[in-house]
Amino acid sequence: MSFQPDHDLHKRRLGRNLGLGLSLIAFVVIVFGITIVKVSDQPRPWAKKAQPATSVSSGASATVSGPAAGTKP
Amino acid sequence: MSDTQTYQHGGQDGEAGFGDYVLLLKPRVMSLVVFTAMVGLLVAPVHMNPFIAFTSILFIALGAGASGALNMWWDADIDAKMRRTKGRPVPAGRVAAGEALGVGLALSGLSVVMLGLAANMLAAALLAFTIFFYAVVYSMWLKRSTPQNIVIGGAAGAFPPMIGWVAATGHVGLASVLMFGLIFMWTPPHFWSLALFMKDDYSNAGVPMLTVTHGRKATRTHILIYTILLAPVAIGAAFTSIGGPIYLATSVVLNAGFLRGAWAIWRRDEVQAEADNYAVEKKVFRFSLMYLFLHFGALLAEAALRPYGLGGW
């Protein structure tokens, strides 16, 4: 038993399905990429709390306390 | 088996390859849109995230492609009558007209929404207006009703650099208006020189091109007038924030060449043109393509050299 070669119709259909599939994958990647960029560009409200708060310890030297810059409280 | 029978019986209807759907988007027009939108975006004096810039250009191009698909759906009847367009997917029977409409509408919505999300709402609104202008104002209304179709319809092709600029800056500036004006004023002499040597196409299809309604001598005169009007718009951009000496020199040389070609076209009559198979008209048409490419290339060069203190004034 031997397989018959694909008709041109089936080749076209395969090409169309592959093209559509790749386009959808590309679309998902683009939406994901835009989301990452937009989220990264958003101002981070907790950054305000990262202002270096100085506290005077004994003596003249100042030490920094509070959360490190960019970290969640 | 039944699939094969349907295919053989119905020709290529309904079983187009992926490439046929790509052709619906007019890839050659899209390449010009990509280039001009990219220049509009890159010459803007703001920093833009490279990924957002890439996706913005992609969605502007997709919007242009969507309007091309809508144009092919609407104009399938006249496309079938013109040599230049009868091989397009819809008139050739590879894609059904309804499919072209569906692709056009879906991609229009997708491109506008995605440009709005990626860049800003003003850029998305301009893209939506461009699609509407090309599909409805130009294709459905002007193209079959007035010989000024190319003049007014040229606005649709002139918007991409402005959309690119707005995507980057968020507002419409003088520089983007001049980039719009450059393409807008360039379109009529470019297409009329094509119409002169594709002479039977438009009359066979009943499209009221200037060559059909006002005659070929009037078309030659219009080419000269619009080329004269184009020169100050093109050269004027040299003195804005996006211009500089490179652009100025390029623009002066190119406008001198275009004016020379338009003058040569104006001086000829049909007997002379037929004798050399429209050699001058074809040469001016090819030159006009180079004209636009080099103008935007010079703007890009100015922007690229600016960080090194070489571009701009």
pLDDT in the model for residue B204? 79
Give the domain range for residue A18: 7-43
Q: Among all residues of chain B, which has the CA nearest to that of A31?
A: B114
Q: Evaluate whether residue A56 is within a structural domain.
A: no
Asked if A34 has any chain B CB less than 8 Å from its own CB, the reply is yes
Residue (of B295, B288, B287) closest to B236 by Cα position? B295
Enumerate the residues of chain B whose CB falls inside 8 A of the CB of residue A9.
3-4, 7, 15
Out of A15, A19, A34, name the one closest to residue B52 (CB).
A34
pLDDT surpasses 90 at A3: no
Burial classification of residue B172, based on how many CB atoms lie within 10 Å of its CB (0-12 exposed, 13-18 middle, 19 or more buried): middle
Q: What is the rounded distance in angstroms from the CA atom of residue B125 to the CA atom of residue B106?
A: 16
pLDDT surpasses 80 at A61: no
pLDDT surpasses 50 at A65: no
Measured in angstroms, the CA of A34 and the nearest CA of chain B are apart by 6
A30 with B114: Cβ contact below 8 A: yes
Enumerate the residues of chain B whose CB falls inside 8 A of the CB of residue A15.
17-19
pLDDT in the model for residue B149? 87
pLDDT surpasses 80 at A50: no
Measured in angstroms, the CA of A59 and the nearest CA of chain B are apart by 46
Q: Evaluate whether residue A65 is within a structural domain.
A: no
Measured in angstroms, the CA of A47 and the nearest CA of chain B are apart by 22
Residue (of B299, B309, B305) closest to B248 by Cα position? B299
Out of A15, A30, A38, name the one closest to residue B18 (CB).
A15
**Residue ranges of the domains in chain B?**
11-171, 173-313
Looking at per-residue pLDDT, the higher value among B203 and B268 belongs to B268
- 3-class state of residue B278 by DSSP: coil
Mean pLDDT of B46-66: 96
Which token pair is B46?
A: 């703001």
Length of chain A equals 73
Amino acid at position A57, single letter: S
Residue whose structure tokens are 């207006």: B129
Model confidence over A11-49: pLDDT tens digits?
888 989 999 999 999 999 999 999 999 998 877 776 665
**Sign of the torsion formed by the C-alpha atoms of B113, B117, B119 and B122:** positive
pLDDT in the model for residue B171? 94
Q: What is the rounded distance in angstroms from the CA atom of residue A38 to the CA atom of residue B56?
A: 13
The CATH number of domain B11-171 is 3.40.50.720? no
Q: Evaluate whether residue A18 is within a structural domain.
A: yes
Q: What is the rounded distance in angstroms from the CA atom of residue B211 to the CA atom of residue B231?
A: 23
Mean pLDDT of B6-33: 75
Q: What is the rounded distance in angstroms from the CA atom of residue B272 to the CA atom of residue B41?
A: 44
Confidence at A52, pLDDT banded by 50, 70, 90 = low
pLDDT surpasses 60 at B168: yes
Residue B18 near residue A18 (C-beta atoms within 8 A): yes
Residues of B contacting chain A (CB within 8 angstroms):
3-4, 7, 15-19, 21-22, 49, 51-52, 55, 58, 114, 117-118
Q: Which residues contact B158 (CB under 8 A, 6 or more apart)?
A: B179, B180, B181, B182, B183, B184, B187
Task: Decide the pairing of beta strands A62-65 and A53-56.
Answer: antiparallel
Q: Among all residues of chain A, which has the CA nearest to that of B18?
A: A16
Residue (of B189, B169, B176, B289) closest to B230 by Cα position? B189
Q: What is the rounded distance in angstroms from the CA atom of residue B115 to the CA atom of residue A5?
A: 44
pLDDT surpasses 70 at A69: no
pLDDT in the model for residue B1? 36
pLDDT surpasses 50 at B210: yes
A16 with B51: Cβ contact below 8 A: no
pLDDT in the model for residue A47? 62
pLDDT surpasses 80 at B36: yes
Out of B3, B7, B117, name the one closest to residue A34 (CB).
B117
Measured in angstroms, the CA of B118 and the nearest CA of chain A are apart by 6
3-state secondary structure A48-70: HHHCCEEEECCCCCEEEECCCCC
Q: How many Å is the maximal CA-CA distance in chain A?
A: 95
pLDDT surpasses 50 at A71: no
CA distances for B195 relative to B147, B198, B204, B208, angstroms: 12, 5, 12, 11
Confidence at A54, pLDDT banded by 50, 70, 90 = low
Averaged confidence pLDDT in chain A:
72
Mean pLDDT of B33-45: 95
pLDDT in the model for residue B6? 34
Looking at per-residue pLDDT, the higher value among B36 and B269 belongs to B36
Quickly list DSSP for B201-212: HHHHHT---HHH
Q: Among all residues of chain A, which has the CA nearest to that of B116?
A: A34
CA A7 to chain centre: 43
Averaged confidence pLDDT in chain B:
91
Domain count, chain A: 1
Confidence at B150, pLDDT banded by 50, 70, 90 = confident
Enumerate the residues of chain B whose CB falls inside 8 A of the CB of residue A30.
55, 58, 114
Model confidence over B62-109: pLDDT tens digits?
999 999 999 999 999 999 988 888 899 999 999 999 999 999 999 999
Confidence at B3, pLDDT banded by 50, 70, 90 = very low
Residues of chain B above pLDDT 90, percent = 74
Measured in angstroms, the CA of B60 and the nearest CA of chain A are apart by 14
Q: Evaluate whether residue A49 is within a structural domain.
A: no
B21 with A34: Cβ contact below 8 A: no
Residue B279 near residue B231 (C-beta atoms within 8 A): no
B27-42 and B149-169 helices, crossing angle to 10°: 40
